[in-house]
């Protein structure tokens, strides 16, 4: 199964990209790096530049229909940039409209808020997003990982890098159950 990882050209938290990416590969799936621009993305270790990664597909040319699921890594700048890009927001929204599972960690739910897919859902995130999620009609909980079945697509969320093991296990299970 092909799994999309949507990131901005820079600002993604490296560990929130690389650990889920490796988990997807270890499970026998194909991770695909989708970004708003071609070339490479710049990852960060919090506020310090880290590694670069090659972009596989550009969001304006990618289709949610060609993926079994979507992973949204965090970092503060990454989702803030994505939520200002109409094509990225439409790409995310399309997964929900198609009933495809979406996994988001840390600050990544900001993009979900912009895509207007939070209403009626229960999710977790980095604590500073609590008010944004509530204002968008969602219910915020402080849990390591939260799986929400509300609506057409399952949503898997986690709070921070310390939750990555539980996050990866949960989204891989949901992705396998839905079969993409």
Angle at Cα 150 formed by Cα 3 and Cα 32, nearest 5°?
A: 10
pLDDT digits (tens, 9 = 90+) for 149-170: 988 899 999 999 999 999 999 9
pTM of the entire predicted model: 0.97
97, two tokens: 């409209």
3-state percent breakdown (helix, strand, coil) of the chain, nearest 5: 35, 30, 35
Catalytic annotation, pick one of 103, 106, 122, 168: 106
- Confidence class of residue 41 from pLDDT cuts 50, 70 and 90? very high
176, two tokens: 């396998």
106 as an active site residue: the answer is yes
- Domain range enclosing 118: 2-178
CATH number of the domain within which 120 lies: 3.40.50.880
For the chain, what is the domain count?
1
pLDDT at residue 180, rounded to an integer: 55
């Amino acid at each position: 199964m092909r799994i999309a990882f949507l990131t901005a050209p820079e600002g993604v938290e490296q560990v929130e990209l690389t650990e889920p990416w490796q988990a997807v590969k270890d499970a026998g799936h194909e991770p695909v790096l989708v970004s708003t621009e071609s070339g490479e993305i710049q990852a960060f270790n919090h506020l310090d530049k880290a590694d670069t990664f090659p972009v596989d597909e550009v969001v304006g040319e990618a289709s949610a229909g060609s993926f079994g699921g979507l992973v949204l890594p965090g970092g503060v700048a990454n989702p803030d940039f994505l939520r200002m890009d109409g094509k990225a927001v439409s790409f995310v929204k399309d997964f929900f409209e198609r009933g495809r599972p979406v996994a988001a960690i840390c600050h990544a739910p900001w993009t979900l808020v912009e895509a207007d897919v939070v209403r009626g859902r229960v999710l977790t995130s980095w604590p500073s997003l609590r008010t944004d999620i509530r204002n968008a009609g969602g219910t915020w909980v402080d849990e390591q990982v939260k799986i929400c079945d509300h609506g057409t697509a399952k949503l898997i969320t986690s709070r921070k890098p310390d939750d990555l093991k539980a996050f990866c296990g949960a989204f891989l299970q949901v992705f396998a159950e839905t079969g993409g």
